[in-house]
A and B are shown apart, each in its own frame.
Chain A
Amino acid sequence: MIKRFTGFCTVVFGVLLLTFLLIHLVPGDPVEVMLGDSVTVADRAQLRAELGLDQPLIQQFGTYLAKLTHGDFGRSIHTKTPIVELIKTRYPATLKLAFLSLLIGLSIGLPLGIYAALKAGKWQDLIVTIVSVRLSAMPAFWLGPMLMLIFAVWLGWLPVSGMESNASIVLPALTLGLGLSAILTRMTRTSLLEVLHDDYIRTARAKGITEPNVIIRHALRAALLPIITIVGLQMGSLLAGTVITETIFSWDGIGRLLVESIEKRDYPVTQACVLVVALSYVLVNLLTDILYRLADPRVKFAS
């Protein structure tokens, strides 16, 4: 566990370093790129000083870290508002979207995976497997517009985009959730099939426990471990997927903030968004790891 934690700290440090270095990868003078040609020399010097770009690199990184510990991400170049405020207003929307997607993914993926495992080798299993394998390969920027076309334009059941009504979240959440459910279906099927042939399942059946109880209380519990891992790992692509999905559906989350900041060349905001998303992912991974250890006592002995 200690080793895992030091690993976690190194990764966090690396993420901070890499995001810090981002602004230095801008070809030429970042201040010039951000402000354009129409400003005075004094304005440029002021921004340069504000971003600390006139200091040595090591010192800049030190200041960057020191500010971050106070929750200070700097200010947006365009709106001059503190970036913390921007993130505070946008992040909840992304969390809401990610959470609902996860819910959709689980509520479709788990039952379908169980169903496929029980029908293993039959045509039902084949159809579920084919659909889920192919669906999981499709990117969000394909699935999103297709869902929009069917449910918003042709059927007219749901709003096309925006955040005005409660129903607005359905399509973006489906876009992210369906991809997730496809992966979960496959994972549930595989891990359930692995344990279904174990001796203790036969024992449970021999004891006369009803079939639903065998599946849910005995088999599924053992099969849950790989599923937890997959959910944790997929939270990452879910978070990254929000960038595209939020852009498609005009959902005002952190992903859209990132894209908007790139369009305006508001690099401090870009930097902050990348950092927040990456750190969320690292944190989710750590939590998954802890959860995994709690769920399976054997993992402790192994490490």
Chain B
Amino acid sequence: MKKLSFSILAFWMLAVFAGRLFQLNPNHIDLNAILSLPNTTYLLGADDLGRSILARLLRGVEVSFWVAFIVTAVTMTSGVLIGLIAGFYGGKVDQILMQITDIFLAFPGILLAIAFAAVLGPGLGNLMIALCITGWVSYARLTRGQTLSLRNRQHVQAAESLGASVPRLILRHILPLLASILVVEATYSLASVMIAEASLSFLGLGIQSPNASWGAMLRDGVRYMLVAPHYVLIVGLSLMSLILAINLGGDYLRDKFDVRVEK
């Protein structure tokens, strides 16, 4: 399973690299090739504007990866920071911060991200802002819960009584023990951010045409399903392989670090 996961990821990375190397143009329009089936010129066929599906898939996954990395980095940093503060200080600070996370969690799934993306307006930047505003909550809850119990560990109390400063206590004595659980959480969240990005793009709220994105490609694929079913099938299978690979990777890391992530 581990090998499968890594080989799928490696395959996509190599493909993106190869696409750049051979300078595949995701925006080149060939009116003779509209919705054509896979052939020698267009290995995976062409879309409704006669653009290479392969080239657009590769550009789409590249953007998707970047969005996932940036959003995960931002949400993890801010969420962990908030969770550490809440868990370390406890009391009123903790109560207020957790009340805020409760409110964010009252919006099911990506509803809040949809709402933010809607009012901010479509576009890649706003999409990332919307995902960042809503994504920190799970990290904050996770970190807070762990910090709460780590706070009373003997090594932390020993360091505290030796006069260690608060930043030192948090950074040197608490955070390292959180690392493995956070790595696992981050891996799963890469997949969920990619799904969220694709969902918003599917709804027309994310990456805008002519830029390639899997969500928008899937929507176009649905639109032309009756005349060109291969389009939606190719995008669908690609998406499946990628999500599968990331989740398998997450499972592998979870087992390796022996982490029990409570959802």
Residues in chain A within 8 A of chain B (CB atoms): 7, 10-12, 14-15, 17-19, 22-23, 25-27, 33, 134, 137-139, 141-142, 144-146, 148-149, 153-154, 160, 236-237, 239-241, 243-244, 247-248, 258-259, 262-263, 267, 270, 274, 277-278, 281-282
Query: Which residues of B161-206 are within 8 A (CB) of A?
Result: 191, 195, 198-199, 202-205
A15: chain B residues within 8 A (beta carbon): 103, 106-107
| Nearest-CB residue, chain B, relative to A25 | B119
* A residues less than 8 Å from B199 (CB atoms): 139, 141, 244
Q: Are B204 and A263 in contact (CB under 8 A)?
A: yes
In the bound assembly, the distance between CA atoms of A277 and B198 in angstroms comes to 21
Residue B118 CB within 8 A of the other chain: yes
- Report whether B236 and A145 are in contact in the complex, using a CB–CB cutoff of 8 Å: yes
Give how many B residues have a beta carbon under 8 Å from the other chain's beta carbons: 41
Q: Which of B120, B202, B229, B240 has the most CB of A within 10 A?
A: B202
Among candidates B112, B119, B202, B221, residue contacting A244 with C-beta atoms closer than 8 Å:
B202
The residue from B106, B202, B240 contacting A281, defined by CB atoms under 8 A apart: B106
Q: A138-B243, A153-B225, A243-B203 are in contact. Are A270 and B118 (CB under 8 A)?
A: yes
Q: A247-B203, A262-B205, A274-B114 given; name 6 further pairs at CB < 8 Å.
A: A7-B102, A19-B115, A153-B225, A274-B112, A278-B107, A282-B106
Q: Quick one: given A148-B225, A243-B203, A247-B203, are A22 and B114 in contact (CB under 8 Å)? A: no
- 3 A-B pairs with least C-beta separation: A240-B109, A14-B103, A236-B108
Select B102's contact among A14, A236, A267, beta carbons within 8 Å: A14
Q: Of A241, A274, A281, which contacts B115 at CB under 8 A?
A: A274
Interface string of B227-245 (1 = CB under 8 A from A): 0010011001001100110
Closest CB of chain B to A278's CB: distance in Å? 5
B225 & A258 in contact (Cβ 8 Å cutoff): no
Q: Distance (Å) between the CB of A299 and the closest chain B CB?
A: 18
Distance from A149 Cβ to chain B, minimum over Cβ atoms (Å): 6
Chain A to chain B contacts (Cβ below 8 Å), 11 pairs: A11-B102, A27-B120, A33-B121, A141-B218, A148-B222, A153-B225, A153-B226, A240-B111, A259-B204, A270-B115, A270-B119
B115 to A160, Cβ gap below 8 A? no
In the complex, whether B211 has a CB less than 8 A from a CB of chain A is no
> Quick check: B226 and A146 within 8 Å, CB to CB?
no
Contact at A134–B233, with CB atoms within 8 Å?
no
Task: Tell me if B146 counts as interface (CB < 8 A to partner A).
Answer: no
For residue B209, CB closer than 8 A to chain A, the reply is no
CB pair A22 B119 closer than 8 Å: yes
CB of B110 within 8 Å of the partner chain: yes
A236 CB contact (under 8 Å) in B100, B109, B226, B233: B109
What does the 1/0 interface line of B3-25 toward A look like (CB < 8 Å)? 00000000000000000000000
CB within 8 Å for A145 and B247 given contacts A27-B120, A281-B106: no
Contact of B60 with A by CB under 8 A: no
Residue of A whose beta carbon sits closest to that of B237: A146
Which A residues are CB-close (under 8 A) to B69?
none
Contacts of A17 in B (CB 8 A): 103
Contact of A23 among B108, B119, B204 (CB under 8 A): B119
Q: Mark B81-105, 1 if CB is under 8 A from A, else 0.
A: 0000000000000000001101100
Across the interface, do A240 and B108 meet the contact criterion of CB distance under 8 Å?
Answer: yes
Q: Is the CB of A274 within 8 A of B111?
A: yes
B contact residues around A138 at 8 Å (CB) = 240, 243
B112 CB contacts on chain A under 8 angstroms: 18, 274, 278
Interface status of B215 (Cβ within 8 A of chain A): yes
Residue of B whose beta carbon sits closest to that of A263 = B204
- Which of B99, B121, B232, B240 sits near A149, CB closer than 8 Å? B232
Residues on A with C-beta less than 8 A from B204 are 259, 263
Contact of A14 among B99, B121, B202, B232 (CB under 8 A): B99
Most buried by B among A139, A146, A258, A267: A139
Question: Contact partner of B195 among A19, A23, A139, CB < 8 A?
Answer: A139
Q: Is the C-beta of B65 less than 8 angstroms from some C-beta in chain A?
A: no
